[in-house]
C-alpha cells in the first residue's frame, strides 16, 4: 500500500464502514480534500476490482483494495475536486466494467430548518422530505431517501439495486435530528426497497418506509419507489366550489363503501377491480341513487384484508390491491368530475404490531408509548401513538394533509376518536396511567386533535373533518378558538344505537321504549351530528339492517322504509353503508360482493326505488337540510303518544313555505282519520308516503290537498285529519298559509 495513502486512512472509521456501524459514512466515503491531495474512498463488497474514472480527462485510476472486505481508495494530486465515477469489475469474466456514480458526493437535500420544524412538530410537508423521492441533484437523476430513526446505530437503504446488502448504501445521520439520508443516483421508479436498521446490540431489522407512497401487494411488504407528482388533475371547478360551500346548509347523504367488496370480478380472473374501473361503476351507482358523497373504508396500505384497512402499515400509500397511486388519483378526480365528494376513513388512534411496520421501529418505542399501560390497546392488540412526541404528531398531521393536498380528498373521517381521548378506554383498573392532573383525559391526544383540525381549516377551506366519537365528550364540533376540538361533524352514535334498539323490538313492545325514539332531540344541537348506519352495524352477528327489522317479510320491508324515512327527516347529515339500500339480508363480508342479484326480486327493487325517491325528495326539500344545526329548524308536534308509537314533528327552513309536517307510525296499525296539530292555518299536500304501492306498500295515501280546521290538537289551534298507513312515514308540505283559520271544505 502507498505509504501516503496508508497514513491518511482513518482505520477505526473504515472498520465501522466495513462492519456497517457508521452513521456518518459521508465523512469517510466519497471524495475529500486532504493535505496530500484528493482522496477517493468507496466500499464495494464482493467485487473483483474498482477503478476511478475522470470523464473530463477520459482517464482511469486503479483503486487500491485496502481492506479485504471491499474497501477501496486512491490518492490523487491536486486540490480541485473533479467530476468522477467508479468502474466496477464484478468478477473474473471479460464483461465490461459497470459504471456507477458515487452516492457519497452529494450534499443533504434536507435543510436544518426542515429538521427543526419536524422536531417541533410543525413541518406540514414533511412527507416531501422523508421517504423516497425521485429527483435530479446537480444534474444527476436518482432517488433521495430519508428516514427518522434517532436511536438506530446505523441505517441503510436496501433493495434489488444493491442485492439487499445493507453495507452498500449506508445513510448519513443529519445533525441531532435523528434523520438519516442518502441520494442514490441512477435508481429507477418501481424498484422495491426497505430500510435496514442496525440496532443497539447488533440486531438487524428490515422496515418498510413509513412515508412510502407505494407498497407491494400483500403478503409482500416492501416499499416501492414511485413519483406521484405528475398526475394531471381536472377537478379545478370542484375544488373552487368546495371552498365557497357551506356544508351545514347543504344536503349531505354519504354512501359508505369498501372498495374490495363493492363489486368483485370472477375469482378465476383476479381478486379485485382496479381503482379506475371502480370509479366508473361506483360513480354511476351513486349518481343513479342520488348520494352526495362517498366515504371509503381505509384505502391506506394494510397487510390483512379482514382488518378492512383499520390496521394501517402504509399511511402514505393507497393500497396496491386496487392499483397504483395514479389510479387512485384518477378515482378521486373522476368522482369530482361527476359531482361526487370523496371522504377518506383515517386511523390515527392505533397501529398494528407487524414487525416490518412502525412497531419498535428503531429498537425503541419510537412511535408508541413504552409503558404498555399507555401504549397498548388490550381489545384490539394494537399499539397507541405517542401523541406527545412532536415528530409522531407531525407524522400523523402531515398524513391527513397529504391525502387532502396530494389526493384532493374532500374530508377525513377519523376512526375511534373516543379511544384517543380517554386514557382508560377499554382498560381495567391498574391497566392505565392517569394524566398529570390525575384524570383519564389524554391531554396529548386532545392537543393533537386541536392542532390537526386548526391547521386543516387554515390550509384547506371546505374540507370536512369528521369524528367517530361514541361518548359525551363536550365540544367535539366546536371551534378550537372556543375551546372545542374543531371537528366539523360527529357521528351520532347515540341516535344510531337508540334507534336501532327501538326498531328491533316487535311493535307490540315498542311503546315501552318510546323514549329511545325521541331522546336524540334532547341533545341534537349540542354538536353538529351526522346520522350513521355504518359498516359496524352490519357485521359480526349484528345482522344487516333488513335483518334487524321485526315481523314477517312484508313487515320487515315496511319497517326498513320507515327507518330510512325517519333518518332522512331527522336533523343532521346522513351516512349509509353499501348494500343496505337494496335490503341485503346477509351481513357484510369483505370476501363477498354486494348482492346485486337481489334487484331481480320485486320487494328488493321496491326498496331500492324507495331509496332513490327518498334521496331525491331529501335534496329537493330545503326544510330537511338548511337548518340542520339550528333549533329553529325542528319542532315537535307530538312526541308523547307512546301507546300509539307515533311521532309528529316539523322541519323548517328560513322560509315558511318550505315547512314540512312529518308523521311516523311505528306500529302495523292503520288510521283512516288521525288528527294532527298544525303549525299554520292553511292548505297542506302530501308530498311523500312510504306506503305508496310503487314502494311495495299497501297504497294508503292522502291523495287530496287538505285544508286545516280551527280545531285545537296537540296544543295547537289548527289541525287536520289524515290517513296514516301502518309502519309508515307520511310527509305533508304547506301549500298556502291563511291569515286566519276557517272550516274544512
Q: Which of 133, 118, 114, 125 lies closest to 183 in space, CA to CA? A: 133
Measured on CA atoms in the order 405, 406, 410, 415, is the torsion positive or negative? negative
Q: Is 173 left (phi over 0), alpha (psi -120 to 50) or beta?
A: beta
- Report d(CA 488, CA 417) in Å as an integer: 14
HEC string of 175-213 equals: CCCCEEEEEEECCCCCCEEEEEEECCCCCEEEECCCCCC
Q: Which three cell numbers stand for residue 305?
A: 384484508
Show Cβ contacts of residue 269 under 8 Å, excluding neighbours closer than 6 positions. Answer: none
- SS3 call for 299: coil
Counts for the chain of helices (H) and strands (E), in that order: 18, 37
> Is-catalytic flag, 415?
yes
- Report d(CA 184, CA 424) in Å as an integer: 46
Q: Cβ(645)–Cβ(666) under 8 Å?
A: yes
Of these residues, 345, 468, 527, 691, which one is catalytic?
468
Q: How many CA atoms lie within 13 A of 237 on its CB side?
A: 8
Q: Which three cell numbers stand for residue 511?
A: 311503546
Q: Which three cell numbers stand for residue 445?
A: 391526544
> Is-catalytic flag, 114?
no
- Report d(CA 268, CA 715) in Å as an integer: 66
Measured on CA atoms in the order 215, 220, 222, 227, is the torsion positive or negative? negative
- Report d(CA 136, CA 129) in Å as an integer: 14
Show Cβ contacts of residue 526 under 8 Å, excluding neighbours closer than 6 positions. Answer: 474
Determine whether 47 is exposed, middle or buried from the number of CB atoms within 10 Å of its CB (0-12, 13-18, 19+): middle
Please name the helix (run of DSSP H) or strand (run of DSSP E) that holds residue 449, with its range, or none.
helix 443-459
Of these residues, 256, 326, 415, 498, which one is catalytic?
415
Q: Cβ(455)–Cβ(401) under 8 Å?
A: yes
Other C-beta atoms lying within 10 Å of the C-beta of residue 98 = 11
Please name the helix (run of DSSP H) or strand (run of DSSP E) that holds residue 521, with its range, or none.
helix 520-523
Q: 132 to each of 85, 122, 196, 517, how far by Cα in Å? A: 23, 21, 14, 53
Catalytic annotation, residues: 415, 468
Amino acid at each position: 500500500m502507498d505509504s501516503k495513502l496508508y497514513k491518511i486512512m482513518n482505520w477505526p472509521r473504515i472498520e465501522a464502514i466495513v462492519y456497517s456501524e457508521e452513521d456518518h459514512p459521508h465523512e469517510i466515503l466519497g471524495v475529500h480534500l486532504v493535505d496530500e491531495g484528493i482522496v477517493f474512498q468507496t466500499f464495494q463488497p464482493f467485487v473483483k476490482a474498482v477503478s476511478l474514472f475522470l470523464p473530463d480527462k477520459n482517464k482511469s485510476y486503479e483503486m487500491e483494495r485496502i481492506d479485504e472486505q471491499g474497501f477501496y481508495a486512491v490518492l490523487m494530486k491536486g486540490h480541485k475536486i473533479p467530476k468522477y465515477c467508479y468502474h466496477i469489475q464484478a468478477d473474473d469474466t471479460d464483461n465490461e466494467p459497470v459504471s456507477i456514480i458515487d452516492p457519497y458526493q452529494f450534499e443533504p437535500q434536507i435543510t436544518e430548518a426542515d429538521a427543526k420544524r419536524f422536531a417541533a412538530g410543525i413541518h406540514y410537508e414533511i412527507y416531501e422530505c422523508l421517504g423516497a423521492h425521485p429527483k435530479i441533484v446537480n444534474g444527476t437523476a436518482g432517488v433521495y431517501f430519508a428516514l427518522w430513526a434517532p436511536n438506530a446505530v446505523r441505517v441503510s437503504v436496501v433493495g434489488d439495486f444493491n442485492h439487499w446488502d445493507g453495507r452498500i448504501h449506508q445513510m448519513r445521520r443529519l445533525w441531532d435530528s435523528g434523520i438519516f439520508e442518502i441520494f442514490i443516483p441512477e435508481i429507477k421508479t418501481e424498484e422495491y426497497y426497505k430500510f435496514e436498521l442496525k440496532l443497539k446490540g447488533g440486531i438487524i431489522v428490515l422496515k418498510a418506509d413509513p412515508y412510502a407512497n407505494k407498497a407491494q401487494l400483500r403478503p409482500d411488504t416492501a416499499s416501492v419507489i414511485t413519483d406521484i407528482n405528475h398526475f394531471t388533475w381536472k377537478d379545478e371547478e370542484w375544488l373552487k366550489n368546495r371552498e365557497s360551500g357551506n356544508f351545514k346548509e347543504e344536503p349531505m347523504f354519504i354512501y359508505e363503501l369498501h372498495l374490495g367488496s363493492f363489486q368483485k370480478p370472477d375469482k378465476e380472473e383476479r381478486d379485485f377491480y382496479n381503482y379506475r374501473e371502480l370509479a366508473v361503476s361506483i360513480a354511476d351507482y351513486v349518481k343513479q341513487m342520488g348520494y352526495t358523497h362517498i366515504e371509503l373504508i381505509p384505502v391506506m396500505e394494510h397487510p390483512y384484508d379482514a382488518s378492512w384497512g383499520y390496521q394501517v402499515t402504509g399511511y402514505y400509500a393507497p393500497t396496491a390491491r386496487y392499483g397504483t397511486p395514479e389510479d387512485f388519483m384518477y378515482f378521486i378526480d373522476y368522482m369530482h368530475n361527476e359531482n361526487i365528494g370523496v371522504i377518506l376513513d383515517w386511523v390515527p388512534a392505533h397501529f398494528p404490531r407487524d414487525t416490518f411496520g412502525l412497531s419498535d421501529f428503531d429498537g425503541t418505542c419510537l412511535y408508541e408509548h413504552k409503558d404498555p399501560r399507555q401504549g397498548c390497546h388490550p381489545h384490539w392488540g394494537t399499539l397507541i401513538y405517542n401523541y406527545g412526541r412532536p415528530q409522531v404528531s407531525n407524522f400523523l398531521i402531515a398524513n391527513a394533509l397529504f391525502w387532502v393536498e396530494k389526493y384532493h380528498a374532500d374530508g377525513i373521517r377519523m376512526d375511534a376518536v373516543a379511544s384517543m381521548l380517554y386514557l382508560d378506554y377499554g382498560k381495567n383498573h391498574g391497566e392505565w396511567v392517569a394524566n398529570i392532573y390525575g384524570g383519564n383525559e389524554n391531554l396529548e391526544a386532545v392537543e393533537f386533535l386541536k392542532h390537526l383540525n386548526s391547521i386543516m381549516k387554515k390550509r384547506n377551506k371546505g374540507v370536512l373533518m369528521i369524528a367517530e366519537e361514541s361518548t359525551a365528550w363536550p365540544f367535539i364540533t366546536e371551534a378550537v378558538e372556543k375551546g372545542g376540538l374543531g371537528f366539523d361533524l360527529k357521528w351520532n352514535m347515540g341516535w344510531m344505537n337508540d334507534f336501532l334498539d327501538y326498531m328491533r323490538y316487535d311493535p307490540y313492545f315498542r311503546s315501552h321504549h318510546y323514549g329511545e325514539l325521541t331522546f336524540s332531540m334532547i341533545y341534537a344541537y349540542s354538536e353538529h351530528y351526522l346520522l350513521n348506519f355504518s359498516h359496524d352495524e352490519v357485521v359480526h352477528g349484528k345482522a344487516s339492517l333488513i335483518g334487524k327489522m321485526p315481523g314477517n317479510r312484508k313487515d320487515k320491508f315496511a319497517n326498513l322504509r320507515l327507518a330510512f324515512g325517519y333518518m332522512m327527516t331527522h336533523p343532521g347529515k346522513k351516512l349509509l353503508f353499501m348494500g343496505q339500500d337494496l335490503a341485503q339480508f346477509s351481513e357484510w363480508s369483505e370476501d363477498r360482493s354486494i348482492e346485486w342479484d337481489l334487484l331481480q326480486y320485486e320487494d328488493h327493487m321496491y326498496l331500492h326505488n324507495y331509496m332513490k325517491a327518498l334521496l331525491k325528495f331529501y335534496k329537493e326539500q330545503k326544510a330537511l337540510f338548511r337548518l340542520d344545526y339550528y333549533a329553529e329548524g325542528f319542532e315537535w308536534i307530538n312526541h308523547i303518544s307512546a301507546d300509539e308509537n307515533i311521532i309528529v314533528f316539523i322541519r323548517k327552513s328560513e322560509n315558511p313555505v318550505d315547512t314540512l309536517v312529518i308523521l311516523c307510525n311505528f306500529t302495523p296499525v292503520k288510521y283512516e282519520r288521525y288528527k294532527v296539530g298544525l303549525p299554520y292555518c292553511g292548505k297542506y299536500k302530501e308530498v311523500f308516503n312510504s306506503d305508496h304501492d310503487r314502494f311495495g306498500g299497501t297504497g294508503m295515501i292522502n291523495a287530496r290537498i287538505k285544508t286545516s280546521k280551527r280545531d285545537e290538537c296537540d296544543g295547537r289551534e289548527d289541525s287536520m285529519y289524515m290517513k296514516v298507513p301502518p309502519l309508515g312515514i307520511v310527509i305533508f308540505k304547506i301549500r298556502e298559509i291563511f291569515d286566519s283559520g276557517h272550516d274544512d271544505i
